[in-house]
Amino acid sequence: MKLNTRAQSAQHPHNNSPIVLVHGLFGSLDNLGVLARDLVNDHDIIQVDMRNHGLSPRSPEMTYPAMAQDLLDTLDAQGLEKATFIGHSMGGKAVMALTALAPERIDQLVAIDIAPVAYQVRRHDEIFAAIKAVTAAGATSRQQAAALMRQTLHEEGVIQFLLKSFIDGEWRFNVPTLWDCYEEIIGWQTVPAWDRPALFVRGGQSPYVTEAHRDALLAQFPQARAHVIAGAGHWVHAEKPEAVLRAIRRYLANDAG
């Protein structure tokens, strides 16, 4: 399916690959805006709402092969032969799944704080509980929603992140499908080795990419390089945007073509 997008043209003449920015679970195309605002200086930028998020179509299916096909359909709709893909969390897995579907359509690949593995820990049950509480109470304003969520969630940053998708008393993500497909979202089907340089950026305090994931990561991405951002957690691009952008720009420059 073709995804809802926001496209921005580079501010300076260039021959760089366009960049597709892919958000994570409960997100929207605004989430990687801090990266878009910098990279648009010399790259055309496409930000996407993933299926069941934002203004993109709804579907009962939420597998990574399906999400990768969405990215491919969106490239086709934009008339693009190739692009560089930068994905955070769930979006990073969708980008990695694209290497199995259409490796020739990927110029460069950056995965932010995610590994190509099936996670065994359910990290989002409290978030689902908070979201469902807002719906059940019939909250109509962000203020009401925030008060309800604070009964379950204790990280204000997470609450504010979720509220970006609470518009006119409705969630902009498909809560029932995300709940039903949660095992798929934290799961993973191993992809064939993608023998091109890839950048994995992780937060030094995040549990999502650790030494335990090293072998699985290198088996699928043998030319991967890791860049650890000290003092950052899972939302590393929001916490340390300058450090993340430095790492991305170095990778894009060194591995162009």
Q: How far is Cα 181 from Cα 175, in angstroms, rounded to an integer?
A: 10
Where do the domains of the chain lie? 5-117+188-255, 124-175
Active site residue 9: no
d(CA 148, CA 41): 40
pLDDT score of 49: 98
Q: What is the pLDDT of residues 149-186, one digit of tens each?
A: 999 999 999 999 999 999 999 999 999 999 999 999 99
Q: What's the one-letter identity of residue 42?
A: D
How does the average pLDDT of the chain come out, rounded? 96
Contact call for residues 247 and 227 (beta carbons, < 8 A): yes
- Give me the residues paired with residue 109 across strands: 85, 198
Give the predicted TM-score (pTM) of the model: 0.96
HSE-up (13 A, CA, CB side) for residue 65: 5
Q: Has 234 been annotated as catalytic?
A: yes
Q: Supply the CATH classification number for the domain 5-117+188-255.
A: 3.40.50.1820
- Indicate the burial class of 205 (C-beta count within 10 angstroms; 0-12, 13-18, 19 or more): middle
How many helices (H) and strands (E) would you count in the chain?
11, 9
Stretch 179-200: mean pLDDT, rounded? Answer: 97
pLDDT beyond 70 at 256? no
Q: How many CB atoms lie within 10 A of CB 24?
A: 24
Q: What would the DSSP string read from start to end of 16-59?
A: PPPEEEE--TT--TTTTHHHHHHHTTTS-EEEEPPTTSTTSPP-
pLDDT digits (tens, 9 = 90+) for 66-104: 999 999 999 999 999 999 999 999 999 999 999 999 999
Residue of 89, 124, 206, 227 with catalytic role: 89
Query: Which has the closest alpha carbon to 205: 237, 238, 228?
Result: 228
Alpha-carbon torsion, ordered 244, 112, 109, 13, to 10 deg = -40
Query: What's the residue count for the chain?
Result: 257
Give 41-55 pLDDT, tens digit per residue. 999 999 999 999 999
Residues 237 and 255: their CA atoms lie apart, in Å, by 21
Return the pLDDT at 33.
Answer: 95
**Torsions phi, psi of 85, nearest 5?**
-115, 130
Confidence of residue 60 (pLDDT cuts 50, 70, 90): very high
Neighbours of 181 (CB within 10 A): 19
Question: Which token pair is 13?
Answer: 């003449």
- Digit-coded pLDDT (tens) for 101-147: 999 999 999 999 999 999 999 999 999 999 999 999 999 999 999 99
Active-site hit among 23, 88, 227, 234:
234
